[in-house]
Amino acid sequence: MKIAIYGGSFNPPHLGHVRCACAASEFLQPDLFLIIPDYLPPHKDLAENSPPPEARLEMCKIAFRSVTAASVSDLEFQRVGRSYTADTVKKLRQTYPEDDLFLVIGSDMLFSFREWYHYRYILSACTLAVAAREDGESEALALAILSLRQEDQAGIRLLTYKPYPASSTEIRQALAEGQIPPGIDPEVYRYIRQHNFYRTEEKIDKSGF
């Protein structure tokens, strides 16, 4: 069986995340596509006014509902502390010892991949499926892929697709200011409104949202 893994804080999940997942699903044709939101990101704290992890899980279920073979997993909610990808991959490798694992990451993450916790284990346990995020980075990306292949014997597949320009940071800022941000699924936005997520107390008091 072929299993794709796509993790992140998804705070909130946006159309850039969804387009990346759709491209990975089409390219890899996985039997199972696990969308795994972080419980607590490994290298940063969640932004102020972020919703609880369980809410991000629910938003992911809404946002990725159209991705073929997608299943949103609470795997990283089952551990205490920060959500390290190596720990998640290890758990999945134990669960699926004979299956092919593909870790979907953005090209920005590839550039810093050697800084990841136990990155060599990740490379030994799964193939990287790298999604280019910005135009004009092809040369730098090719060099990074070549380096990891030659020096770390990494298995890497490159996803070629047109990224959707969206930023979770900008979306959170727009939501905090009471705006309807572009780049977010209407159903995800409706869920956010229902629960008053990402709003400052001042905005909530004045608008009722």
Sequence-distant (6+) residues with CB within 8 A of 44 are none
pLDDT, the chain, mean:
90
* Of 25, 34, 130, 40, nearest in space to 91 by CA: 34
Q: How far, in Å, CA of 121 to CA of 34, rounded?
A: 19
pLDDT in tens, 143-184: 999 999 999 999 999 998 888 989 999 999 999 998 999 999
pLDDT value for 71:
97
Band of pLDDT at residue 1, cut at 50, 70 and 90: very high
pLDDT value for 121:
98
What domains can be seen in the chain, in order of their start residue? 2-170 (3.40.50.620)
Q: Whole-model pTM?
A: 0.91
C-alpha 9: how far from chain center:
6
Band of pLDDT at residue 98, cut at 50, 70 and 90: very high
* Of 86, 93, 75, nearest in space to 39 by CA: 75
pLDDT value for 206:
45
Tokens of 14: 């946006």
pLDDT in tens, 20-58: 999 999 999 999 999 999 988 776 677 778 899 999 999
Q: How far, in Å, CA of 120 to CA of 107, rounded?
A: 18
Q: How far, in Å, CA of 4 to CA of 34, rounded?
A: 6
Report the 10 Å Cβ neighbour count for 136: 7
